[in-house]
């Protein structure tokens, strides 16, 4: 067999968002659609296959691109519909691109954190993740693809810009002319032409890494006592990992992991770990005879939701609590270098950083912005309000890592989740917080909303809205302190004299229309006022947002699609 060159034409709209390219399955099933994007990845990152993202961008590819032969590529996905077929295509194209070895998860399964783990452990030049994260799956659902670079993290903007530029001019792709598919079910080594394809157990290396970070003996004692725990894998990728870690290695009872079999359509559910979509877990934790602790993860395993008995922990609070309790976890006992959070994430972690005497970095949304800070040793923990938390152990957010971190704290402190969080509030103050998502908004109307508000920003400081006065209003821009790169237009911020904030931005993770996200934050240092109803506290901020942005008018919606 040999390499075949296939003539093609560019497909419009192949611009990666915050987490790669996401489109409906039917779009990816178009002739040459996936192949064009994969070839554009290989063409554009050929300057990084030696193990580092470097070189200046010239046109759409990196200058001085070395030969990719002999390098390793990691490939895996979240098991959603079209995952297996897409992997076969990627393998054949990797063979044609001259890669020496591909590590692929058994059954085509690899969580996004596991991909990052494998890249770093085996010195791979990069990895391809086939996932649309928390978006629905199935034939009528979504599919996605993203590239992770040699540090294990998502490709930075310089790389995604090069990939997109290449998609606009591509005229040919190369693929190995081998029709027989690789057996993804059998662990072992197969040859695809000159390419070594190694099918690996999806959970082994990741589970081993977790044992180096946490006190498994203490967690085992907790889980084998009268402590009750439930983790919802939402029929997504983390099911095998949760069973391996919690039931097999830590001795939790069988059935601790629910919905643990990955399904191509996620059981007809929406694999987004929030109060709306993880409703069965929420009902358990807020019902009679509730477990002590509950957690859920998303489609590709990089997000998490944390619940105590009758108690929801916001992702912003979770990051702050983990940072404040780092001394209980072996890997972080020596101290934290710093903390990073995305701009829309609440400022709860800022107060912990101040208390610890360490730096706090505010970045745009997207895990790729944490990579430079982690690589430079400036931060140890990082997180986003969109249910993502992680550390310097890999270069992705990591859902089950966060669950283990919480279990380690609970094992050490022997207090309830609610007691730990409420004690945290008494020490640092409470940041009442919510995110309102307006999904499927007509794109032109969403852009008009943002443009209209953007034009009003300069005149907002000093204006009063009820009891609140605007302190500042801006369009957030970020300058990376490591490499000096600049990212503008990252979200509209309205800060109030009281310390409260409103943030509006358009999400880059949807596939139908636009998703407007409104973030609301109110700071309360008074312990006597820290157990009020969140909606009541934030209602004045919702009214301000409506007045300044006319959300109902532009979205044509009376209420958000989802509130988290």
How far, in Å, CA of 285 to CA of 283, rounded?
6
How far, in Å, CA of 198 to CA of 217, rounded?
33
Partner residues linked to 365 by β-bridges: none
Catalytic residue among 60, 131, 133, 297: 133
Q: How many CB atoms lie within 10 A of CB 563?
A: 17
How far, in Å, CA of 160 to CA of 183, rounded?
31
DSSP string over 476-514? --EE-TTT--EE----EEEEETTS-EEEEEE-SS-SSSE
Q: What are phi and psi of 179, to 5 degrees?
A: -85, -30
Q: 94: phi > 0 → left, psi -120 to 50 → alpha, else beta; which?
A: alpha
Is 133 among the catalytic positions?
A: yes
Closest to 302 measured CA to CA, from 20, 15, 8: 20
| Intra-chain end-to-end CA distance of the chain, in Å | 53
How far, in Å, CA of 5 to CA of 17, rounded?
28
Name the token pair of 266. 């996620």
Three-state secondary structure of 416-483: CHHHHHHHHHHHHCEEEEEEEEEEEECHHHHHHHHHHHHHHHHHCCCCEECCEEEEEEEECCEECCCC
Catalytic residues, by residue number, are 133
């Amino acid at each position: 067999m040999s390499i075949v060159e296939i003539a093609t034409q560019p497909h419009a709209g192949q611009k990666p968002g915050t987490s790669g390219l996401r489109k409906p399955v039917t779009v990816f099933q178009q002739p040459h659609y996936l192949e064009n994007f994969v070839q554009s990845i290989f063409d554009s990152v050929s300057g990084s296959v030696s193990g580092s993202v470097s070189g200046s961008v010239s046109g759409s590819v990196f200058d001085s691109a070395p030969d990719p032969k002999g390098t390793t590529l990691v490939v895996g996905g979240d098991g959603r519909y079209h995952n297996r077929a897409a992997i076969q295509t990627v393998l054949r194209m990797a063979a044609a691109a001259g890669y020496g070895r591909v590590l692929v998860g058994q059954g085509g399964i690899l969580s996004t954190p596991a991909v990052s783990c494998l890249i770093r452990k085996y010195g791979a030049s990069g990895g391809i993740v086939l996932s649309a994260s928390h978006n629905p799956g199935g034939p009528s659902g979504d599919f996605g693809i993203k590239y992770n670079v040699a540090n294990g993290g998502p490709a930075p903007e310089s790389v995604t810009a090069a990939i997109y530029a290449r998609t606009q001019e591509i005229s040919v792709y190369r693929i190995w002319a081998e029709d027989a598919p690789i057996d993804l079910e059998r662990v072992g080594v197969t040859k695809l032409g000159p390419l070594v394809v190694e099918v690996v157990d999806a959970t082994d290396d990741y589970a081993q890494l977790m044992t180096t970070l946490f006190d498994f003996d203490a967690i085992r004692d907790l889980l084998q006592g009268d402590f009750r725990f439930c983790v919802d894998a939402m029929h997504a990728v983390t099911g095998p990992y949760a069973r391996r870690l919690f039931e097999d290695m830590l001795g939790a009872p069988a059935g601790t992991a629910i919905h643990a079999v990955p399904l191509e359509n996620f059981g007809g559910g929406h694999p987004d770990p929030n109060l709306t979509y993880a409703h069965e877990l929420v009902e358990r934790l807020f019902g009679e005879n509730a477990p002590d602790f509950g957690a859920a993860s998303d489609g590709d395993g990089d997000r998490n939701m944390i619940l105590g008995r009758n108690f929801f922990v916001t992702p912003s609070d979770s990051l702050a609590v983990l940072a404040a309790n780092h001394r209980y976890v072996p890997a972080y006992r020596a101290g934290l270098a710093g903390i990073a959070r995305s701009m829309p994430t609440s400022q709860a972690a800022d107060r912990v950083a101040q208390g610890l005497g360490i730096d706090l970095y505010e970045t745009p949304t997207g895990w790729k912005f944490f990579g430079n800070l982690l690589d430079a040793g400036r931060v140890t923990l990082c997180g986003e309000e969109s249910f993502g938390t992680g550390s310097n152990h890999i270069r992705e957010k990591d859902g089950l890592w966060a669950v283990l971190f919480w279990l380690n704290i609970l094992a050490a402190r022997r207090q309830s989740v609610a007691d730990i969080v409420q004690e945290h509030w008494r020490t640092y103050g409470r940041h009442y917080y919510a995110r309102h998502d307006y999904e499927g908004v007509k794109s032109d109307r969403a852009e008009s909303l943002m443009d209209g508000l953007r034009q009003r920003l300069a005149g907002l400081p000093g204006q009063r809205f009820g009891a609140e006065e605007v302190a500042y209003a801006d369009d957030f821009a970020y300058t990376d302190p490591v490499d000096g790169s600049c990212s503008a237009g990252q979200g509209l911020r309205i800060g109030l004299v009281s310390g409260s904030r409103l943030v509006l931005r358009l999400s880059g993770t949807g596939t139908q229309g636009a998703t407007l996200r409104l973030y609301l934050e109110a700071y309360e240092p008074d312990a006597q006022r820290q157990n009020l109803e969140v909606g009541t506290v934030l209602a004045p901020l919702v009214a301000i947002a409506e007045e300044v942005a006319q959300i109902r008018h532009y979205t044509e919606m009376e209420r958000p699609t989802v509130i988290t």
